[in-house]
A and B are shown apart, each in its own frame.
Chain A
Amino acid sequence: QVQLQESGPGLVRPSETLSLICTVSGYSLSSGYYWGWIRQPPGKGLEWIGTVYYIGSTYYNPSLRSRVTISLDTSKNQFSLNLSYVTAADTAVYFCARILTGPYHFDSWGQGTLVTVSS
């Protein structure tokens, strides 16, 4: 059974880069599937940030594309999120998730991690 766990700083200063890692257990990233990041501002809905395919192809939300980088580290079975030039509007719970190839839905999720942008 696949498990995902987000990790990273809980506080980031404005204009800096938010960096998170998703560690996957129970499945090898190099074997397949898409892997994604989703965020949820406090009290609001879900927003897809971006996705990486197991061969390294990436897909980003157009509204965030200029600031987002998602990458794989198959040697550590992790994938990461970098979001640059953050503002208070980037304060959110950040989730990582697995996406099934073909139906393209998010079938397994991490528990989420709250990142606050504040000076």
Chain B
Amino acid sequence: EIVLTQSPGTLSLSPGQRATLSCRASQSVSSSYLAWYHQKPGQAPRLLIYGASSRATGIADRFSGSGSGTDFTLTISRLEPEDFAVYYCQQYGGSSWTFGQGTKVEIK
């Protein structure tokens, strides 16, 4: 089973700042099968990025994804108030899906 480790656990930033979130896999992941979600309290997760770098429908271009192999990054270029949430990476491999433990982006 591939384990995804996200860092940092919590990111304290101000609106307008840049956020950089990391997702590291215990073994190589196909870039095609790496996705990012965000989740606000009381809501279901929402897909942001799929295929490591493709934005989902309706997602603002301040969100971007990059990486390959075992290291992937989600970048939010300028934080908006609605971006403060928990972010999860997710991978598929070998008929199994796993999520990272999440990074909370909070208002500083």
A and B: real partners?
yes
* Residue from A61, A105, A109, A110 whose CB has the most chain B CB atoms within 10 Å: A105
Given A62-B1, A95-B44, A112-B44, verify A104-B97 contact (CB < 8 Å).
yes
| Interface magnitude class on chain B | 20 to 34
The stretch of A17-25, A43-51, A84-92 in contact with B is A43-51
Q: Is the CB of B32 within 8 A of A103?
A: yes
B47 is an interface residue with CB less than 8 A from chain A: yes
Nearest chain B CB to A10 CB, angstrom units? 16
Q: Which A residues have a C-beta under 8 Å from some C-beta of B? A: 36, 38, 45-48, 51, 59, 61-62, 95, 97, 99-100, 102-107, 109-112
**Nearest 6 A/B pairs, CB to CB:** A104-B92, A105-B35, A109-B44, A48-B97, A46-B99, A105-B50
